[in-house]
Amino acid sequence: MIDHFGEAGRHIWRLAHGEDDRTVVPDREAKSISTETTFAQDIGDRATLRVWLLDQVDHLAARLRQVGMQARTVELKVRSSAFRTRTRSLSLTDPTDSTQVLWQAALSLFERSLTPDILPVRLLGVGATNLTAERTVQGDLFEDKARKRQAALDQAIDAIRQQLGAAAIQRGSRCRPKTEENPETKA
């Protein structure tokens, strides 16, 4: 390559072999952030799917906070075992990165979208679109205290996970109760 192209040949050869020490600079901001899971086996149980959805929303909200963004729209994606895909979205009154607000929106979409014709489910995903870095929120006399408590909870969970790993803490509704089929699970 050097004989034919000179010093540029060396550069082309390195690039062709995946060697490039230049810093990656994204040319635009992300327009959306999402997470989805394709299941090894189709899932027809709504309660199990809700647990998966909560985990995805929790992860999505943490990613939004990590990059300093808030979402104005929540999207849900569901693919059936017959590969029918259903996507639904919900615009929020105010942009948010709150796990609880995103969860309520995603759950609402989930309940409306999960009809018998889409079950069992092969893939489940949730996304955040219409992203903004603005932090302006219209104050509400009665909800402001709850919003601050939720933000503090989200920040504490993020800090614990950052220090001790993602599995160090999880939302209570993700815990399965102790059953005869699952005696090792702690309630």
pTM of the model: 0.69
φ and ψ at 71, to 5 degrees?
A: -105, 140
**CATH assignment of the domain containing 160:** 3.30.1490.100
Which domain covers residue 159, as residue numbers? 32-137+150-166
Residue 90 · residue 7 · CB < 8 Å: no
User: Does some domain include residue 176?
Assistant: no
φ and ψ at 139, to 5 degrees?
A: -70, 150
User: Does some domain include residue 120?
Assistant: yes
Tokens of residue 10, six digits:
């060396």
Domain count for the chain: 1
Alpha-carbon span 45 to 175, nearest angstrom: 16
For residue 184, the model assigns a pLDDT of: 40
- What's the burial of 45, exposed, middle or buried (CB within 10 Å: 0-12/13-18/19+)? exposed
User: Does some domain include residue 143?
Assistant: no
User: Does some domain include residue 56?
Assistant: yes
User: Does some domain include residue 124?
Assistant: yes
Give the CA radius of gyration of the chain.
22
User: Does some domain include residue 63?
Assistant: yes
For residue 149, the model assigns a pLDDT of: 73
User: Does some domain include residue 116?
Assistant: yes
The tens place of each residue's pLDDT in the chain, 187 residues long, gives 788 888 888 888 888 988 888 887 765 667 899 999 999 999 999 999 999 999 999 999 999 999 999 999 999 999 999 999 999 999 999 999 999 999 999 999 999 999 999 999 999 999 999 999 876 555 565 666 666 776 667 777 766 767 777 766 776 655 544 433 343 433 3
User: Does some domain include residue 122?
Assistant: yes
User: How many percent of the chain have pLDDT more than 70?
Assistant: 76
